[in-house]
Amino acid sequence: MTDSKYRYLTYESLDDGTIARIMLNRPETRNAQSRGLLVELEDAFRRAEADDTVRVVILGGHGPMFSTGHDMGSKEGRADHAPGPNQHPSAKIDGGTRQGAEKLMLQEWHHFFENTRRWRNLRKITIAAVHGQVYAAGLMLMWACDLIVAAEKTTFADMVGTRLGMCGMEYFAHPWEFGPRKAKELLLTGDSIDADEAYRLGMVSKVFPADELAEQTLAFARRIASVPTMAALLIKESVNQTVDNQGFYNALNACFTLHELNHAHWAWIHQGGFPVATPDEDGVPDWRTSPPVLPALRDAVAAPNPVG
């Protein structure tokens, strides 16, 4: 049964309510994460968590790709923040009325960082089902899940270093997901890896044909849902607490602070206070017209550009 409560998501209850499937539903923006979408996603995750019948939550996306990351300028995305009748209510709370770096830090902490960490600690098992391209903040949503399955030909990249002059995303799980040196390579080049390499790295659990992704993900969820709920939760908690004791939790906090320092640097040197690098002033490519993301290759400095 599909619920029509949400504008930017779909929420389905499957298998007599034991499985909840949440799908990002802004295909016209490639599921760019607007404020409206993120607030709805928090509501949907919390709804699934509160429902004692739910054992497994699937997170996916409608349209050609799982998520292109933060909404960098769609009409709806701009309206979420701009004063006016269509401004999202969250723009006026949680630091939204403060000034300068404080405003940006508080808003990003609530809507990009802490909510992602909260979803990572959801009291249910979560499975991300991804396809197409998974870029930048799309990685954050995926990494918040306990398990990740991908369609064949899915690619993963974080280009914010090369295109926005930023040191990665707010939820900086890159070294833990890619490994330290691979994380440095991918962030410094903006190159991508494919689903098969993500599987070899242990980031992705399963790789399915694209036309079987939904069916196979549901079958995987059913298998996980058969595990007693207490055992499933304590398995999740055992692994999460292990990596937290290895430093993951503290590293996330530290790197969020560095991310905000990075924003403050750009805001300081730009006359208009713009908090990321710009093509005109800083020499980065314009993210709106940048060439395609290239694959990271073992035996080449850079992959050939398919558009010349």
Residue 192 placed within a domain: yes
Q: What SS3 state is found at 235? A: helix
In this structure, is residue 24 part of a structural domain? yes
CATH of the domain at 15: 3.90.226.10
Torsion angle, alpha carbons of 141, 144, 246, 254, to 10: 40
Residue 100: strand, helix, or coil: helix
pLDDT digits (tens, 9 = 90+) for 102-154: 999 999 999 999 999 999 999 999 999 999 999 999 999 999 999 999 999 99
As for how many domains the chain has, the answer is: 1
Distance of alpha carbon 160 from alpha carbon 274, whole angstroms: 15
As a 3-state breakdown, the chain gives helix, strand, coil percent values, each rounded to 5, of: 45, 15, 40
pLDDT at position 288 is: 86
Domain span holding position 187: 2-282
pLDDT of residue 257: 98
Q: Return the structure tokens found at 151.
A: 């369609």
Token couple for 85: 């009748």
pLDDT at 220: 98
Whether 293 maps to a domain, the answer reads: no
Percent of the chain with pLDDT over 90: 94
- Burial category of 17 from C-beta neighbours within 10 Å (exposed 0-12, middle 13-18, buried 19 and up): middle
Q: Which amino acid is at 89?
A: P
pLDDT of res. 308: 57
Please state the length of the chain.
Answer: 308
**pLDDT for residue 305:** 84
**Is residue 295 included in any domain, yes or no?**
no
Is 271 part of a structural domain of the chain? yes
Residue 300 lies in a domain: no
Residues of the chain with pLDDT under 50: none
Residue 149 in tokens? 């399955």
Asked if the structure places residue 307 within a domain, the reply is no
- Residue 250 included in any domain: yes
